Chain A
Amino acid sequence: MAGQRARGKSLVIAAVGWVVAIWIFFPIFWMFLTSFKGEAGAIATPPRLFFVPTLESYHEVFQRGNYWRVTFNTLGVSIGATVVALLFSIPAAYAMAFLPGKRTRGTLLWMLSTRMLPPVGVLVPIYLIARNTHLLDTVTGLALVDMFTNLPITVWMLYTFFREIPVPILEAGRMDGASRWQEITRVLLPLATPGIASTALLSMILCWNEAFWSLNLTSSNAAPLAAFIASFSSPEGLFFGKLSAASTLAVAPILVFGWISQKQLVRGLTFGAVK
């Protein structure tokens, strides 16, 4: 009886899970379908689920825009911003986790609070800074901005991961004669690898999907995928087929990447919540 009820319960939970998952995934699925419909099929009413697929939209997208170049830009921005963010946030999180002071908590919250500001609030100053430092429409400039906006998140995440590492292990390193640098590189980092990987992953995804700064700080030279997609929602009218094809091309790499590393990612996002 009890077993049956438990099974019934888990069936209900599974069903709810599926409904939510389909709800979330449906737009992506529809976008994927639309990208193979061609422009006429894309706007047909009622929308058709079954149709003869065509690569027409993809052909046009590749002709009109430089997919490889924007992908390369996006990779540059994502990897660059992530690496630099880690270089800053590992020492910062180390200090906050292992050498906390009276203001550590406050500093952490203050850092996070900068994420609550709408980006558009600092658009003008950042635009002007970027222009005056000749970083406008450069991969470096966009990577820097992305890095700074993600820094609070990466520091927070690493801080939480570091807090889980037993302090005596680091102290044992110190007793063994490790300098601060050796303590971090030879003891802390190997232990925190899963956490650092999750943090890097999240930072990559955030940079990859970032649209606001991409659209405002880049034009032709350093345009990443977000700008590439936007370029297909042009003033000449909405072309759903091409837009869908461009979007599919843009999300495909990160989707595959995320799927491969989903175990790591889930662990990272729920870290601390579940032991």
Chain B
Amino acid sequence: MATVELKNIRKTYTSEEIIKGVDLSIESKEFVVFVGPSGCGKSTLLRMIAGLEDISSGDLLIDGRRVNDLAPAERGLAMVFQSYALYPHMNVYQNMEFGLKLAKTPEAERREKILAVAQTLQLENYLKHKPGQLSGGQRQRVAIGRAIVRNPKVFLFDEPLSNLDASLRGQMRVELATLHRRLGATTIYVTHDQIEAMTMADKIVVLQKGIVEQVGSPLELYDHPRNLFVAKFIGSPPMNFLPGTVIAASEEQVRVRLASGQEIAVAAGSAQDLVGAGVTLGVRPEHIRLGDSVENRGSGQVELVEYLGSAAHLHVRMQDGALLVIQTEGGVGVHADDAVTFSFPAERCHLFNSEGVALHRRSSGRMAA
């Protein structure tokens, strides 16, 4: 399998810079997910790796070889498109055969490869079908099959699941992850869905406006978002943010006074010079504990309860008007208009300075389990 390396990759359209210098190295067999809001440049970046878009400057290395000027097929990649992009005039067999034919693979070998892939993807009974006769999930599988038969060094996926309905998406997610484990191929996967990113990735690359905001494992991004943008983007429901002011800071702890007047202790260090400065406190809905406490106490009124079965989301209005989402276990017996008290666990809180950059957290927030 192959490594992929991006060195100061840039993309400029007419006068606008879309990709603003991306450095990234992808290990062999790694499953890397590019994630970000629409327009962040993640698809463009993928298409540049694929060879469908020119690279304005910088170097793209696959297995250590510079491939900037190679045609897509010569780079040894295969891509699965969002719209599947199957050849409508060819049947499933021919769709998978096309690339092999162009590569002048002998007929017998083509047949063998296609049948093997068709079996893996449970497409044996559809080989004579045209794409128009297949369901969304089957089309998706054909698109994946077309990529696999060519035995590429790197798989590229451009939002492959976004056209599927929710239940099928979940199923395909598992299939893709399983497939990746079995093939062990380096994979680059683009999505705007952070759940896909969290569940499938070895490494997540968060992009915004053509800049890499953070690279890390799903848990690294969850536990240690480097800035407000990543903190907002990773996690569902998203992290709560409350404005406040630093009133004291020690080696181990930072005390923050929220707009509501409540004082919260956060396990973050090296913020002595921030005393008096405005900060943003971030805390994930699943980390807020319901019930009274002495430390880091908060209170408010429940405006809405969303029951998800296994969990419930409480939308709580605090006294100062800030809205907070708290995730709790299933039916906790809390209803709309109830007054609730809760606490922010010091080791689970995040602090961001006025530029939105995260303060170093002392605790990982995750016990070694």
Q: Does A171 contact B (CB under 8 A)?
A: yes
B83 within 8 A of A: yes
**Chain B residue at minimal CB-CB distance from A166:** B83
Q: Which residues of A contact B81 (CB under 8 A)?
A: 168, 171-172
A contacts with B, residue count (CB < 8 A): 16
Query: For chain A residues 154-211, which have a beta carbon within 8 Å of chain B?
Result: 166, 168-169, 171-178, 182, 186-187, 190-191
- Interchain CB contact under 8 A, B87 and A175: no
Task: Judge whether B85 and A172 touch: CB under 8 Å.
Answer: yes
Assuming the A-B contacts A171-B52, A182-B102, are A176 and B85 also in contact, with contact meaning beta carbons closer than 8 angstroms in the complex? no
Give the CA-CA distance A50 to B79 in the complex, in Å.
Answer: 71
Contact B83 A173, beta carbon cutoff 8 Å: no
Chain B residue at minimum C-beta to C-beta distance from A182? B102
In the complex the two chains form, what is the Cα distance from A169 to B87 in whole Å? 6
Chain B residue, CB-CB nearest to A177: B73
**B83 surroundings in chain A (CB, below 8 A):** 166, 168
Decide if B73 touches A174 in the complex (CB within 8 Å): yes
Which residue of B71, B72, B88, B99 is within 8 Å of A191 (Cβ)?
B88
Closest A residue by C-beta to B47? A171
How many angstroms between the C-alpha atoms of A173 and B78 in the bound complex?
A: 11
- Which chain A residues lie closer than 8 Å to B86 at the CB level? 169, 172
Which B residues are CB-close (under 8 A) to A174?
Answer: 51-52, 71-73
A168 & B85 in contact (Cβ 8 Å cutoff): yes
Docked complex Cα distance between A32 and B73 (Å): 61
| Chain A residues whose C-beta falls within 8 Å of the C-beta of B88 in the assembled complex | 169, 191
Specify which chain B residues have a CB less than 8 angstroms from the CB of A182 in the assembled complex: 102
Partner of A176, one of B52, B73, B82: B73
Considering only residues 115-154 of chain A, those with a C-beta below 8 Å from chain B are none
The answer to whether A176 touches B150 (Cβ under 8 A) is yes
Do A177 and B99 touch across chains, with their CB atoms under 8 A apart?
yes
B98: interface (CB < 8 Å) = yes
- Please, what's the 1-or-0 string for B59-92, where 1 marks a CB less than 8 Å from any CB in chain A? 0000000000001110001110111011111000
A169-B87, A187-B87 are contacts. A175–B72 as well, Cβ < 8 Å? yes
Out of B51, B87, B89, name the residue touching A172 (CB < 8 Å).
B87
> Interface residues of B: mostly helix, strand, loop or mixed?
loop
Give which listed residue, A166, A177, A178, A186, contacts B85 with CB less than 8 A. Answer: A166
Q: How many Å from the CB of B95 to the closest CB on chain A? A: 9
State the CA gap A178–B89 with chains docked (Å). Answer: 16
Contacts of B166 in A (CB 8 A): none
A234 to chain B, nearest CB (A): 53
Asked if B82 and A175 make an inter-chain contact with CB atoms under 8 angstroms apart, the answer reads: no
Q: Which residues of A contact B72 (CB under 8 A)?
A: 174-175, 177
Indicate if the CB atoms of A176 and B98 lie closer than 8 Å.
yes
Q: Give the distance to chain A from B98, nearest Cβ to Cβ, in Å.
A: 5
CA distance A51 to B304 in the complex (A): 88
Task: State whether the Cβ of B256 lies closer than 8 Å to any Cβ in chain A.
Answer: no
> B146 contacts which of A166, A176, A178 (Cβ < 8 Å)?
A176
Report B-chain residues with C-beta under 8 Å of the C-beta of A178. 73, 98, 102
List A residues 8-39 near B (Cβ within 8 Å): none
Instruction: Check A176 against B89 for contact (C-beta < 8 Å).
Output: no
CB distance from B353 to the nearest CB of A (A): 43
Residues of A within 8 A of B368 (CB): none
Cβ of B50: which chain A residues have Cβ within 8 Å of it? 175
Q: Is B103 engaged at the interface, CB distance under 8 Å to the other chain?
A: yes
In the complex, what's the smallest C-beta–C-beta distance from B229 to chain A, in angstroms? 29
B52 contacts A191, C-beta separation under 8 Å: no
Residues on A with C-beta less than 8 A from B85 are 166, 168-169, 171-172
Whether A176 lies near B77 (C-beta < 8 A) is no
Across-interface contacts of A173 in B (CB, < 8 A): 87, 98
A175 touches B102 (CB 8 A): no
A172 → B minimal CB distance (Å)? 4
- Min distance, Cβ A179 to any Cβ of chain B, angstroms: 8
Chain A residue with minimal CB distance to B75?
A: A175
Q: How far is the CB of B87 from chain A (nearest CB, A)?
A: 6
Q: Is the CB of B150 within 8 A of A191?
A: no
B253 to chain A, nearest CB (A): 53
Bound: A178/B150 CA distance, A: 13
Which residue of B is nearest A190, CB measured? B89
Q: Which residues of B contact A190 (CB under 8 A)?
A: 89
Contact B89 A175 (CB under 8 A): no
Judging by beta carbons under 8 Å apart, are B79 and A177 in contact?
Answer: no
Q: How far is the CA of A230 from the CA of B279 in the complex (A)?
A: 90
Q: How far is the CB of B63 from chain A (nearest CB, A)?
A: 18
Contacts A166-B85, A175-B52 known; 7 new A-B pairs at CB < 8 A: A166-B83, A171-B81, A173-B98, A175-B78, A175-B99, A176-B99, A182-B102
- Chain B residues packing against A (C-beta within 8 Å): 50-52, 71-73, 77-79, 81-83, 85-89, 98-99, 102-103, 146, 150
Pairs A-B, 7 closest by C-beta atoms: A177-B73, A176-B99, A168-B85, A172-B85, A177-B102, A190-B89, A168-B81
27 A-B residue pairings within 8 Å (CB atoms): A166-B85, A168-B83, A168-B85, A169-B85, A171-B81, A171-B85, A172-B79, A172-B81, A172-B85, A172-B87, A173-B98, A174-B71, A174-B73, A175-B50, A175-B51, A175-B77, A175-B78, A175-B79, A176-B73, A176-B99, A176-B146, A177-B71, A177-B72, A178-B98, A178-B102, A186-B98, A190-B89
